Amino acid sequence: MNQKPKNILDMKSFFTIIFLLTSIIALSQYNVEPVPNRDRTMEAQIRRDIPSLPANEYKNDLINEGFDVWPPADWEIVNGASSVGNQQWHQEGSDEYYAAIQYDNGDGVIHDQDEWLISPEITVPANAFLTFEFHSNPYWMVDPNNNADLNVLITYDGGTSWSELWNEDEYEWEYSEWTEVYLDLSSYETENVSIAFQYVGIDACWFYIDNVRLYAIPEFDIEITDARINFFEFYDYHEDASDFHYSSHYNKIPAEVLDANENAYLAFNAIVMNKGYGSGKIQCNVSVTDPDGIEIYNSVSYNEKVIGEMESDTVDVAYTEGEEFLLDNPKLGTYQVEYTVFVGEPGVLPIDITKEVLTKTVTFEVTEKQYSRAGDNNDDFVGPKTWVGGDTDGDILTVKYMFFEDVLIDEVQAFIHEDTDAGCQLVCNIYQYDESTSDYVVIANSPLTNIDNEDIVTWKTFEFTDPGWIYTDEEYVATSVLVGFEFYYNGEDSNCWLGCDKTSPSSPWGTLWYMHGGTNSNVWTAITNFVGVPMIKLNLHDESGAVADNDFGANISLYPNPTTDFARLSGVEGCNIEILNSIGQRLDQFVAGEELCDLDLSPYPAGSYYIRITDLSGKYKYAVKQLNIMH
């Protein structure tokens, strides 16, 4: 199975690299059980996964409550008989506010809680929906500790009786993420009703509510629920329209990777949901602006599929001939990719555009030498201990990177999360897939490195004991490598975490794991329920240092080639000579004492090898010669 995309298509007429799922890489794909987070309170401002939606005249909101004012106008708060302080409904937040409940009042003392937050009475219109967002921890609310419930209730007799609309036990949701809920109220049309949020239980955890809306859905209410950029590759495996293609997003990418590279295509896709009751085809427009705000790309795509009420679809842009997007001579700085979706047949004006247009912006930065999937948003922590079975010394977390030309990685940096314990250790490795062993092997590594107190909440730099060279095979248009860390702990209870950027629009396929315990032990694994990107970034070598020099290489001869057991180099006096296998692992190294240098190749099996010659005179030029051994 090839790990490097093979150039079997006319790359100028179609997207660079297209694989089926079965060709992605030699690894397993699993949902993996995370180690449960036992947090019972949340501190500081919580990042918003779902942007707040302001009141919108087109959506005919009867209730639109963001809890910016407390108590909310015309709402009723009914406190429990024994609860006190923050155990009752109250306002929290700083930049954005929400209604909150805590399991205690900050003193660890628990009380029975039966807390009610009741909306004003409204008349339910046709095609009515109730939506809201919530934030909590299922470890204390659902499983294994079902210590409390959040019930959404409705009354149409002034509060004499209440009927349940929703309960958090019956809804799949994640720890510490804002989750959006949609409830159909069509069966209550024309009734005068109130909605209540009841928190009932004891010794559970926080529960937050925000953006409560009751509105009549319009015929068309199209929204982008997410949008992605695919850099250089995509895998068209998704069957469910609500799933993305593989998303190979990079937040920071060196200009040299993009410049004058006909294989460095960018493509775009957006997941679109119809929250209206009508049906229609969806179009998606993508506009790219450079760091100076100049539009450099604009394209529209559409799907033949008609999507109806609460259905979704994925719209792809720049995947076909004539739509390709390349960056020649890219400017350094941030590029903005703006997605706009609307309803309507291609070539005609969209339907009632004031209602359906929705725009989402995704960015990436072109840098001088920095390469990173993650941005600088330290939203969470991540490491092998995130998962059940991931607590063994030597467990591995890696991020995938793609290269089109030979390159030297000077160093790797990782953001050490604040919850890391000093005394843990990390080893940084670069892995490349070896077809002869059908496994990933280390081609460069750092020493075992201590994590000290001064390293925590900073970018820690890791340098390699030998140069971190990545060699691309001429047979392929690109080579992918894994860059990551082995984790070693300072005792059973110690923790070592990297920062995790959850705002980066990438997919779990960009992060690969290798753990020695658990149900997926000793196999490279893509964890499909992982959300986020580990904060790992590469720094490519400055071109003022090691630079391939054509004149230098032209004066060096290697013969015979192909050969059996022997080869001779000429013009290499005083140069450092390295013999490397096909994936760049060093097999031998020495300094040539004379102009002519004989190489004993008898220990090596037949195959392709590289001879790297580096000028040690201070100019630090290098040349690479490919050598084929035949026995």
Judge if 289 and 318 occupy the same domain.
yes
Tell me, yes or no, whether 595 lies in a domain. yes
Tell me, yes or no, whether 373 lies in a domain. no
Helix, strand and coil content of the chain, in percent to the nearest 5, comes to: 5, 45, 50
Q: Is the pTM of this model over 0.85?
A: no
Whole-angstrom distance, CA of residue 231 vs CA of residue 335: 14
Q: What is the pLDDT of residues 411-437, one digit of tens each?
A: 999 999 999 999 999 999 999 988 778
Identity at 52, one-letter amino acid code: S
Q: Which residue has the higher pLDDT, 482 or 519?
A: 482
Q: Are 28 and 525 in contact (CB under 8 A)?
A: yes
Judge if 461 and 577 occupy the same domain.
no
pLDDT bracket for residue 459 (50, 70, 90): very high
Tell me, yes or no, whether 505 lies in a domain. yes
Average pLDDT over residues 558-564: 89
Whole-angstrom distance, CA of residue 592 vs CA of residue 307: 69
Residue among 325, 368, 361, 251 at smallest CA distance from 15: 325
pLDDT of amino acid 269: 84
Identity at 268, one-letter amino acid code: F
Sheet with 575-580, side-by-side order of all strands: 547-548, 621-629, 607-615, 575-580, 586-591
Judge if 101 and 211 occupy the same domain.
yes
Whole-angstrom distance, CA of residue 591 vs CA of residue 575: 6
pLDDT of amino acid 19: 34
- What does the block give as tokens for 174? 């994640």
Judge if 201 and 122 occupy the same domain.
yes
Q: What is the pLDDT of residues 216-236, one digit of tens each?
A: 888 777 888 888 888 887 555
Whole-angstrom distance, CA of residue 554 vs CA of residue 552: 6
pLDDT bracket for residue 27 (50, 70, 90): low
**Domain of residue 563, residue span:** 550-629
Q: Are 228 and 505 in contact (CB under 8 A)?
A: yes
Tell me, yes or no, whether 599 lies in a domain. yes
Of 368, 401, 416, which closes a domain? Answer: 368
Task: Give whole-number Cα distances, 134 to 151, 165, 223, in Å.
Answer: 12, 15, 20
pLDDT of amino acid 32: 59
Q: Give just the sign of the alpha carbon dihedral 274, 278, 282, 287.
A: negative
pLDDT of 57 strictly over 70:
no
Q: Which residue has the higher pLDDT, 38 or 364?
A: 364
Residue among 347, 312, 141 at smallest CA distance from 241: 312
Tell me, yes or no, whether 3 lies in a domain. no
Judge if 338 and 446 occupy the same domain.
no
Whole-angstrom distance, CA of residue 257 vs CA of residue 181: 42
Judge if 87 and 180 occupy the same domain.
yes
CATH number of the domain encompassing residue 502: 2.60.120
Residue ranges with strand state E in 176-322: 179-184, 192-201, 207-216, 222-231, 234-235, 252-254, 266-274, 280-289, 295-307, 311-317
Tell me, yes or no, whether 56 lies in a domain. no
Judge if 85 and 99 occupy the same domain.
yes
Residue among 628, 618, 616, 626 at smallest CA distance from 590: 616
Q: Give just the sign of the alpha carbon dihedral 528, 530, 532, 535.
A: negative
* Overall number of domains in the chain: 4
CATH number of the domain encompassing residue 187: 2.60.120.200
Beta-bridge partners for 99: 91, 209
Judge if 107 and 252 occupy the same domain.
no
Tell me, yes or no, whether 614 lies in a domain. yes
Q: Which position has the token pair 């720049």? A: 318
127 conformational bin, left if phi > 0, alpha if psi -120 to 50, beta if neither: left
The dihedrals phi and psi of 177, each to the nearest 5 degrees, come to: -130, 140
Q: Which residue has the higher pLDDT, 20 or 271?
A: 271
Sheet with 566-570, side-by-side order of all strands: 557-559, 566-570, 596-600
Identity at 529, one-letter amino acid code: N
Tell me, yes or no, whether 40 lies in a domain. no
Judge if 344 and 401 occupy the same domain.
no
Residues of the chain above pLDDT 90, percent: 45
Strands 547-548 and 621-629, how do they pair? parallel
144 conformational bin, left if phi > 0, alpha if psi -120 to 50, beta if neither: alpha
94 contacts: CB under 8 Å, gap ≥ 6: 45
Whole-angstrom distance, CA of residue 562 vs CA of residue 566: 10
CA 2 from chain centre, in angstroms, equals 24
CB neighbours of residue 443 within 10 Å? 23
Judge if 487 and 472 occupy the same domain.
yes
pLDDT of 92 strictly over 60:
yes
CA 344 from chain centre, in angstroms, equals 31
Residues of the chain above pLDDT 70, percent: 83
Look at 100-104, 179-183, 314-318 and tell me which has the smallest mean pLDDT. 314-318
The dihedrals phi and psi of 595, each to the nearest 5 degrees, come to: -60, -40
Of 216, 242, 271, which closes a domain? Answer: 216
pLDDT bracket for residue 21 (50, 70, 90): very low
CATH number of the domain encompassing residue 599: 2.60.40.1220
Angle (CA) 261 263 267, round 5° = 115
pLDDT of amino acid 87: 96
Judge if 189 and 227 occupy the same domain.
no
pLDDT of amino acid 10: 37
Q: What is the pLDDT of residues 568-581, one digit of tens each?
A: 999 899 888 989 88
pLDDT of amino acid 357: 56
Of 216, 242, 272, which closes a domain? Answer: 216
Sheet with 459-470, side-by-side order of all strands: 295-307, 280-289, 333-343, 358-367, 252-254, 370-372, 536-540, 407-415, 459-470
Average pLDDT over residues 268-296: 88
Judge if 531 and 610 occupy the same domain.
no
CATH number of the domain encompassing residue 240: 2.60.40.3880
pLDDT of amino acid 416: 97
Residue among 538, 244, 175, 136 at smallest CA distance from 386: 175
